[in-house]
Amino acid sequence: MSPPASPNSQPDKRLFTPGPLTTSLTVKQAMLHDAGSRDPAFVQLVRSIREQLLELGGVNRATGYEAVLMQGSGTFAVESVISSVLPRDGKLLVIVNGAYGERIVTMASRHGIPNVVVRQEEDRLPSLPEIEATLKHDARITHVAAVHCETTTGILNPIDAIGRIVKPQGREFIVDAMSSFGAIPLDLDSAGVDYIVSSANKCIEGVPGFAFVLARRDALQATEGRARTLSLDLLGQWKGLEKDGQFRFTPPTHALLAFAQALKELAAEGGVAGRGTRYRTNHETLLRGMQALGFRPYLAPDIQSIIITTFHYPADPGFVFAEFYQRLFDKGFVIYPGKLTRLDCFRIGNIGRLHPEDIQSLLAATAVVLKEMGLELPLKA
């Protein structure tokens, strides 16, 4: 499938990344309008987006959840939660097996929030017994934070199982579902999630500009006076949206118009299940093709998500990632460098407006690039 044409009539490069990612032409076209933040039609659009996001999380306002839109990237929204909901005498347990869990630790530390970390290697799931023991032995812990799909590697963490430990012990549960929400089912209520965070430019296939938080209403309302910032005040943002349907500060109008269109396209594809099916096919096609070329995946199959796949560098000393990346880029394909701390790897995303035929095109280009680099196929992984 050919990528959509950009305004200068040159085809866009296909983005095999975890976001920003390739979007449909119709999502792009939805931004070709101006919208006033106080216009009744725009206020209604924001209200509709909030309601649809709750539905994607398997909840609604009647079940006690609220959707809060926050300007900025997904990291802004995660920091909004961390800096807004922890009480002054609270303590955060962060479950870490990748760079984005580590980022939450950095956020908490930067805001002076006491924290403790249950850390695991990047290719292993969190230790549930260690999480349970930590909670039992530290009564100061009020909140627990975890990443659903850790895009450092593509590992999928067991949020439901973690929630079954966190909630009976009376702690609140924060989930960074940045790269999973919209494609991997997660029932917030049954998983015991109090706050879940994601972004417009991930599996829902919108464009960058805002992120969102789905929050349990009673937990959110109990955070009065806890916010450590003005612009990232989560409760303040919700109150503003509830008061008159408007953002407290300038809204990302064009990104919201694009997102409304992206939600329509998600529904037309069959919702979370339909999109997840396409992404799974993308992942399976990629995995088979890369293994046939000699690349070795980093993660074991039982913990690998469908979102992004990490591969080891091949053993051949003639493989230079910078050259490999540039040659693919010149052919119209953008992949992702590695983010591991211990091993040389690179990543390929399966999400965005990509289909199996796009994956096949990438695989064909990869085979050509490897031959251009003088490497024999299949590679020595």
What is the per-residue pLDDT across 279-328, written as a single tens digit (0 to 9) for each? 999 999 999 999 999 999 999 999 999 999 999 999 999 999 999 999 99
What is the per-residue pLDDT across 231-269, written as a single tens digit (0 to 9) for each? 999 999 999 999 999 999 999 999 999 999 999 999 999
The residue-averaged pLDDT of 182-193 equals: 94
pLDDT band, very low/low/confident/very high, at 1 (cuts 50, 70, 90) = low
pLDDT band, very low/low/confident/very high, at 112 (cuts 50, 70, 90) = very high
Sequence-ordered strand ranges (E) for the chain: 14-15, 65-71, 92-96, 115-119, 143-147, 149-150, 155-156, 172-176, 195-199, 210-216, 308-312, 333-334, 336-337, 345-349
pLDDT over threshold 60, residue 2: no
334-353 burial, b at 16+ Cβ within 10 Å, e below that, comes to bbbebbbeeeebbbbbbbbb
Superfamily name and number for 14-20+270-372: Aspartate Aminotransferase, domain 1 (3.90.1150.10)
What per-residue confidence (pLDDT) applies to 208?
Answer: 97
Residue whose pair of structure tokens reads 């959840």 in the numeric block: 65
CATH 3.40.50.280 given to domain 31-267: no
The single-letter code of the amino acid at 118 is: V
This prediction's pTM: 0.95
The residue-averaged pLDDT of 203-218 equals: 98
What per-residue confidence (pLDDT) applies to 7?
Answer: 52
What per-residue confidence (pLDDT) applies to 19?
Answer: 84
The residue-averaged pLDDT of 90-99 equals: 97
Please give the full DSSP string across 184-234, using - where no structure is assigned: S---TTTTT-SEEEEETTSTT---SSEEEEEEEHHHHHTTTT--S-STT-H
Residues 225 and 87: their CA atoms lie apart, in Å, by 9
pLDDT over threshold 80, residue 192: yes
Structure tokens, 262: 């992206």
Domain boundaries, the chain: 14-20+270-372, 31-267
Residue 303 DSSP symbol: G
Residues 287 and 310: their CA atoms lie apart, in Å, by 10
pLDDT band, very low/low/confident/very high, at 8 (cuts 50, 70, 90) = low
What is the per-residue pLDDT across 320-378, written as a single tens digit (0 to 9) for each? 999 999 999 999 999 998 878 688 999 999 999 999 999 999 999 999 999 999 999 89
The single-letter code of the amino acid at 81 is: V
> How many CA atoms, within 13 angstroms, populate the side-chain half-sphere of residue 320?
8
What per-residue confidence (pLDDT) applies to 339?
Answer: 77
pLDDT over threshold 80, residue 145: yes
What per-residue confidence (pLDDT) applies to 178?
Answer: 97
Of the chain, the percentage scoring pLDDT greater than 90 comes to 92
Residues 367 and 380: their CA atoms lie apart, in Å, by 14
pLDDT over threshold 90, residue 224: yes
